[in-house]
Chain A
């Protein structure tokens, strides 16, 4: 079997205003560096407002993953965006619980549920007329 030289750390899918980020490699420091760069490129290109992290592709994450999520959160929050997650297995759940990330990133059962919630969410600041 031929080895893929430039294996992506995550898969990305743009769904309206939502960018779905699905890590496919164990989310450690090594992979986090990649996801951070790839995700920022995708956000820039697709102009995503909200982010949805789909963890169904991985069973391991360490504190590096927390950094990636926090960093992306800071990116979208100032434009009135939100983040959410789905596909959380037991291993990832422990990390997310321990780090308190659920406070800023609500958890949903699947993509459909999460996308519906993100779509409904009132965007803070969206109603304020520009230039006052």
Chain B
């Protein structure tokens, strides 16, 4: 059995998670899909869809629609859409190599934070820390830029990546939605 690797990234600082935490994650996997997104999350939504490229836009629109309940700014909404798009694209082309598979996206809220998980049961990542390096890509042949994780890091407040070779990958992202103030333009304004 391959070892589970976990990396957390907060404000651009990447840290390898201790084995203990990764093991806990491993044990919880498998039962996760039917659960609420994570402990302490409210209003959980879980969505499973085929690992097809055309579902990328569907997934990011669902995430954006979900986040809308916190009345985010247009910029925050764009951030969430981009991050989800990257995570789902990774699952489609790297996780399943554009073959058949299922992707699960879980959404939850905690106060003014949106929590998003994207999970696949595909190939997994051999070296998570390297994979998160900007410009790192295993699919230069497909003109992948290697900026996926870098964008997730840049656009979200917190990013956790767990992966196990031949078992799959789980990406967890957190985004704080700013409070209404000083008349910032909100996505839901004018509706």
Residues of A within 8 A of B (CB): 26, 28-30, 32-33, 36, 59-60, 62-64, 66-68, 70-71, 90-91, 94-95, 98-99
Q: A95 and B82: CB pair below 8 A?
A: yes
Interface pair B78/A30, CB less than 8 Å apart:
no
Point out the residues of chain A lying under 8 angstroms from B82, CB to CB. 60, 62, 95
Whether B143 lies near A28 (C-beta < 8 A) is no
Q: Are A62 and B75 in contact (CB under 8 A)?
A: no
Q: Whole-angstrom distance between the alpha carbons of A59 and B150 in the complex?
A: 20
Q: Is the CB of A67 within 8 A of B145?
A: yes
From known contacts A28-B85, A91-B78, A98-B154, infer whether A63 and B53 are also in contact, taking CB-CB under 8 Å: no
Chain B residues with CB under 8 A of A95: 82, 151
Interface contacts (Cβ under 8 Å), in number, total: 67
**Interface of chain A: mostly helix, strand, loop or mixed:** helix
Complex CA–CA separation, A90 to B82 (angstroms): 13
Interface residues in B49-67 by Cβ distance below 8 A to A read 53-54, 56-57, 60
User: Does A36 lie within 8 Å of B54, measured CB to CB?
Assistant: no
Q: In the assembly, what is the distance between CA of A95 and CA of B143, in Å?
A: 17
Interface residues of B in 120-168 (CB under 8 A from A): 142-148, 150-151, 154
Prevailing SS type, chain B contact patch: helix
In this assembly, does B106 line the interface, its C-beta being within 8 Å of a C-beta of chain A?
no
Query: Which of B9-17, B22-30, B86-94, B171-179 forms contacts with chain A?
Result: B86-94
B145–A70 CB distance below 8 A: yes
Chain B residues with CB below 8 A from A36, complex form: 143
B185: min CB distance to chain A, Å: 11
Asked if B56 and A63 make an inter-chain contact with CB atoms under 8 angstroms apart, the answer reads no
Q: Which residues of A contact B53 (CB under 8 A)?
A: 28-30, 33
**When the two chains form the complex, which single residue of A64, A70, A98, A99 contacts B89, counting CB atoms closer than 8 Å?**
A64
Classify chain B: how many residues form its interface, as a range: 20 to 34
Residue of B nearest to A36 (CB): B143
Residues of A within 8 A of B60 (CB): 28, 60
Q: How far is the CA of A67 from the CA of B57 in the complex (A)?
A: 18
Bound Cα distance A14, B117 (Å): 43
Cα–Cα distance between A30 and B82 once the two chains are bound (Å): 14
Q: 3 tightest A-B contacts by CB? A: A67-B143, A63-B147, A30-B53
Which of chain B's residues have a CB closer than 8 A to the CB of A32? 143
Interface mask (B15-57 → A, CB under 8 Å = 1, otherwise 0): 0000000000000000000000000000000000000011011
A62 touching B151, Cβ below 8 Å: yes
**A66: nearest chain-B partner, CB-CB:** B145
Set of chain A residues within 8 Å of B150, measured between Cβ atoms:
63, 98
* 13 contacting pairs across A/B (C-beta < 8 A): A29-B53, A29-B89, A30-B54, A59-B78, A62-B86, A62-B148, A62-B151, A63-B148, A67-B144, A90-B78, A94-B75, A95-B151, A98-B150
Given the known interface contacts A30-B56, A98-B151, the answer about A63 and B145 at a Cβ–Cβ threshold of 8 Å is yes
